[in-house]
């Protein structure tokens, strides 16, 4: 990813300009993401939309609180995930659901109140195969959700985001992830640079996607090394310490002449190149 305009365009490196958007809880200082149960509000969080609700209901690690559905929404959800469900649904009118979630929310007639997921430790997550994605202050929940969706599709092991300056786990992120939030670990770290050092110590080759990259991202150049890809923040790109901690900076070739891609689109292209 790279340069971005105010509409969320990211180029071949790590600079973007975007708007803002799982939760900034305090965590003990340390070198890497660590296992810690997220604190949740008394009411938990609301997930909505058929894909995200279906995936959460099918996830035994998700602690469920309340499932509300319209008549049409219940029928659509049952068509995707047959009864019995792990929680009894409450029938509700669409107008009432609109009021609960906010006007303009595309909920498809289903909403699930649940607790935030508990992420695994970095060591446990590294037992999963595939590359690792690291998000350096990407703040739009729709972009993070779309990146999670691509990460799951292309077989990534996990996504690591900063504990602060990153979107909370919530409905917008989960809906953009289209069920991937329940399937791929989303870890939090206080310090991105320390997380990169921990990944390097675990044998990963850490690449920062940035316009200043001296070489193009290439599967052939990666060889047999396990890769970690760092995506830069909206507007600012990769921060100085993040850039300096990477093993190398790489960019995406754009022969069509476009200056930029949306950060989530750039992540999908880069992941495809890494695993092809």
- Do the domain assignments include residue 22? yes
- Could you give the CA distance from residue 262 to residue 20 in angstroms, rounded to a whole number? 14
Specify whether 147 is located in the same domain as 235.
yes
Q: What does the pLDDT average to over 88-103?
A: 95
pLDDT in the model for residue 258: 75
Specify whether 103 is located in the same domain as 134.
no
Rounded mean pLDDT of the chain?
86
Checking if the pLDDT of 1 tops 70, the result is no
Question: Could you report the per-residue pLDDT of 105-142, keeping only the tens digit for each?
Answer: 999 999 999 999 999 999 999 999 999 999 999 999 99
Please give the angle made by the CA atoms of 38, 175 and 199, to the nearest 5 degrees. Answer: 50
Specify whether 65 is located in the same domain as 160.
no
- Do the domain assignments include residue 5? no
pLDDT in the model for residue 37: 35
Specify the higher pLDDT residue, 121 or 1. Answer: 121
For residues 35 and 28, the answer to whether their CB atoms sit within 8 Å is no
- Could you give the CA distance from residue 75 to residue 72 in angstroms, rounded to a whole number? 5
C-alpha 106, offset from chain centre? 20
Checking if the pLDDT of 8 tops 90, the result is no
Could you tell me the CATH number of the domain that includes residue 103? 3.30.1330
Specify whether 28 is located in the same domain as 58.
no
Q: Which two tokens stand for residue 115?
A: 């607790």
Specify whether 107 is located in the same domain as 199.
no
**Nearest CA to 35 among 155, 122, 145, 127?**
122
Instruction: Give me the sign of the Cα torsion angle 32, 268, 270, 5.
Output: negative
- Could you give the CA distance from residue 43 to residue 266 in angstroms, rounded to a whole number? 35
- Do the domain assignments include residue 1? no
**pLDDT band at residue 257 using 50, 70 and 90 as cut-offs:** confident
- Could you give the CA distance from residue 216 to residue 10 in angstroms, rounded to a whole number? 16
Specify whether 154 is located in the same domain as 18.
yes
Checking if the pLDDT of 22 tops 80, the result is no
What residues pair up with 170 in beta bridges, in sequence order?
none
- Domain containing 71 equals 45-114
The count of domains in the chain is 2
- Could you give the CA distance from residue 18 to residue 84 in angstroms, rounded to a whole number? 41
Specify whether 102 is located in the same domain as 158.
no
């Amino acid at each position: 990813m790279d340069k971005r305009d105010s509409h969320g365009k990211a180029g071949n490196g790590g600079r973007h300009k975007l708007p803002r958007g799982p939760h900034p809880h305090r965590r003990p200082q340390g070198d890497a993401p660590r296992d810690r149960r997220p604190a949740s509000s008394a009411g938990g969080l609301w997930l909505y939309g058929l894909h995200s609700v279906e995936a959460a209901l099918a996830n035994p690690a998700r602690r469920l609180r309340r499932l509300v559905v319209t008549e049409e929404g219940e029928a659509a959800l049952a068509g995707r995930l047959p009864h019995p469900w792990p929680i009894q649904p409450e029938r509700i009118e669409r107008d009432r659901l609109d009021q609960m979630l906010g006007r303009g929310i595309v909920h498809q007639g289903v909403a699930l109140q649940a607790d935030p997921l508990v992420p695994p430790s970095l060591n446990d997550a590294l037992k999963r195969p595939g590359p690792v994605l690291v998000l350096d202050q990407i703040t739009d929940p729709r972009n993070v959700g779309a990146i999670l969706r691509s990460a799951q599709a292309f077989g990534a092991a996990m996504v690591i985001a900063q504990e602060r300056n990153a979107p909370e786990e919530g409905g917008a992120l989960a809906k953009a992830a289209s069920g991937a939030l329940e399937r791929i670990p989303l870890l939090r770290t206080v310090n991105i640079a320390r997380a990169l050092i921990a990944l390097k110590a675990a044998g990963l080759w850490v690449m920062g996607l940035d316009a200043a990259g001296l070489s193009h991202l290439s599967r052939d150049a990666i060889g047999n090394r396990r890769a970690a890809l760092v995506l830069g923040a909206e507007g600012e790109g990769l921060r100085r310490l993040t850039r300096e901690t990477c093993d190398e900076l790489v960019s995406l070739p754009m022969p069509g002449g476009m200056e930029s891609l949306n950060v989530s689109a750039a992540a999908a292209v880069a992941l495809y190149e890494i695993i092809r």
